[in-house]
Amino acid sequence: MIIYQGVVVVAMARNPSLIRAQPPMPSDLTSSDCSVLRGGASFRRRELIFVVNPRGANGTTGQQWKKLLPYLRSRLGNDCNICESLTSGPSHAIDITREAIREGADAVIAVGGDGTLHEVVNGFFCGGKPVCNHDVNSSHSTALGIIPLGTGSDFARTLGWKNDPHDAIERIAKGLKSKIDVGCIAGEIGESHYFINVADIHLSAKAGYYASRYKKFGNLCYVIGALQAFFRHHNQDLRIKVDEGEWEVCSQVTALCIGNAKYFGGGMKITPNANPSSGDYEMVILQDFKWYDFILKLHKLYNGTHLSVKNVSSRRARSIEIEETGSSGSIFVQSDGEFLGFLPRKFSILPGVIELLC
Ligand SMILES: Nc1ncnc2c1ncn2[C@@H]1O[C@H](COP(=O)(O)OP(=O)(O)OP(=O)(O)O)[C@@H](O)[C@H]1O
């Protein structure tokens, strides 16, 4: 990152569609996170990188962002250097985030839906380790921020945040941070993948996979995806190992959901007791469900009262290994709504690994 006369230029990995120049330093810094050496010439403005998916929510994110920028600049511009980076396509947010952290950003803020947040979270890691500042002498870490402007905003829902970008800007302005957990999924060949919301397996993952093709219909895409997934669906026996214990067979699994947070699929409270600050997951298993069970019990899935329903179980876990009893190789795995591949997988949790601006 090059800084000259209060202007910030950040070089990013793929698309140089960054950046806004900021005016020179203000005389009055109010943010608690800006370090100021009073009596000396040196003081530090927070470096905020806004990772914006202009195509989020069918392009609405881009339009809302443009309208929001003048307010954002006026609210934060005195204390912070505001860098805007528009994503050019899937996975770009990962590259932008990694680069921003290496260059010493104070916060990377995901502007969009849960898909953009998921990519930004994955950008906090590389090669199985947290990404670090290039400057090994620097002690400050990069926080995660969120401006929920997408279709679902399921993570924000867990935190009880309204879908109001002005509230989100206030949280960023305050600069208060809280440590949150991140889920980690190891695949067969050892590569790691991260999630902040919910990872899920089998029917729900298949439904999410199909839903992603119908995003243009908004939240209706989840209903269409579910209907398509039910077509030729078979419940499956799975082998599960929890917290390094014994392998157990779990019969006729319809869907298995591992929650770091509570919601998925645009507001379904699937893991109602999950808490991203608890250091563990809530694992909810639906067994032997028929298509009509979903219709009859859908309202319970949405309001989080399904744990008392027959064939639904919940338990807490820090580590979960799951494999098929057979070898169909076709049990879908989804991570924060992104199709990841098929079983087997191992899920572990990284407690308090990211600081969230809250
Ligand atoms: N410029 C782009 N063009 C097309 N797709 C993009 C672009 N930038 C990012 N994406 C992809 O769009 C996906 C969805 O983004 P995002 O979550 O912001 O929108 P959404 O429509 O609200 O979806 P969600 O249901 O996840 O809330 C991301 O996972 C990302 O891979």
Cβ atoms of 109 and 48 within 8 Å: the answer is yes
Distance CA 329, CA 322 (A): 13
Q: What is the pLDDT of residues 97-121, one digit of tens each?
A: 999 999 999 999 999 999 999 999 9
Predicted pLDDT of residue 180: 98
| 119 alpha carbon – ligand 1 mean position (Å) | 9
Q: What letter represents residue 271's amino acid?
A: T
Q: Which residues are catalytic?
A: 114
DSSP state of 76: H
Residue nearest to atom 14 of ligand 1 (CA): 115
State which ligand 1 atom lies nearest to the alpha carbon of 215.
21
Q: How far is ligand 1, taken at its centre, from the CA of residue 112, in Å?
A: 7
The residue ranges of DSSP E strands in 235-276, in sequence order, are 236-242, 247-259
Tell me whether strands 236-242 and 198-202 are parallel, antiparallel or unpaired.
unpaired
Span of 137-146, 277-286, 312-321 with lowest mean pLDDT? 137-146
Ligand 1 centroid distance, CA of 296 (Å) = 31
Q: Which residues of 156-171 are buried (b: 16+ CB within 10 A; e: fewer)?
A: bbbbebeeebeebbeb
Query: Do the beta carbons of residue 179 and residue 142 sit within 8 Å?
Result: no
Nearest CA to ligand 1 atom 3: 89
What are the φ/ψ torsions at residue 147 (nearest 5 degrees)? Answer: -115, 100
Segment 220-233, tens digit of pLDDT: 887 888 889 988 89
With a 6 Å cutoff on the Cβ, whether 57 touches ligand 1 is: yes
For residue range 175-220, list pLDDT tens digits in order: 999 999 999 999 767 689 999 999 999 999 999 999 888 878 877 8
Query: Is 151 near ligand 1, meaning CB less than 6 Å away?
Result: yes
* Closest of 121, 115, 118 to residue 57, by C-alpha: 115
Q: Is the CB of 87 under 6 A from ligand 1?
A: yes
Instruction: State pLDDT tens for residues 284-315.
Output: 999 999 988 888 998 999 999 999 999 999 99
Which domains can be identified in the chain, with CATH numbers?
Answer: 2-175 (3.40.50.10330), 192-351 (2.60.200.40)
The pLDDT value given to residue 13: 41
DSSP 227: H
Regarding the beta carbon of 148 and ligand 1, being less than 6 Å apart is answered: no
pLDDT of residue 43: 58
Question: In terms of DSSP bridges, do strands 46-52 and 107-112 run parallel, antiparallel, or are they unpaired?
Answer: parallel
Cα Rg, the chain, nearest whole Å = 21
Which atom of ligand 1 has the smallest separation from the CA of 154?
Answer: 27
Q: What secondary structure does DSSP assign to 113-126, as a single string? A: SHHHHHHHHHHTEE
Q: Is 337 in the pocket of ligand 1 (CB under 6 A)?
A: yes
Question: Which run of H or of E encompasses 167?
Answer: helix 165-174
Site to probe by mutation for ligand 1, drawn from 60, 97, 116, 334 as the one with most ligand atoms within 8 Å of Cβ, is 116
Confidence class of residue 49 from pLDDT cuts 50, 70 and 90? very high
Q: 64 CB under 6 A from ligand 1?
A: no
Nearest CA to 264 among 312, 327, 212, 331?
A: 212
DSSP string of 311-330? Answer: TEEEEEESEEEEEESS----
Report the 10 Å Cβ neighbour count for 284.
25
> What is 82-139 written as a DSSP string?
EEEEE--STTHHHHHHHHHHHTT-SEEEEEESHHHHHHHHHHTEETTEE---S-TT--
Instruction: Establish how many alpha carbons lie within 13 A of residue 158's alpha carbon, considering only the half-sphere containing its beta carbon.
Output: 26
Round to whole Å and give the CA distance between 350 and 147: 23
Instruction: Report the mean per-residue pLDDT for the chain.
Output: 87
Closest CA to 268 of 293, 303, 295, 297: 303
Residues paired with 287 in a beta bridge? 253
For ligand 1, atom 21, name the residue with the nearest CA.
57
- For residue 47, pLDDT over 50 is answered with yes
One-letter amino acid for residue 147 of the chain: I
Q: Which two tokens stand for residue 147?
A: 């401006």
Alpha carbons 276 and 262: distance in angstroms, whole number: 9
Asked whether 150 lines ligand 1 (CB < 6 A), one says yes
Which ligand 1 atom sits closest to the C-alpha of 53? 8
Would the CB of 59 count as within 6 Å of ligand 1?
A: no
How many Cα atoms sit within 13 Å of 321 on the Cβ side? 9
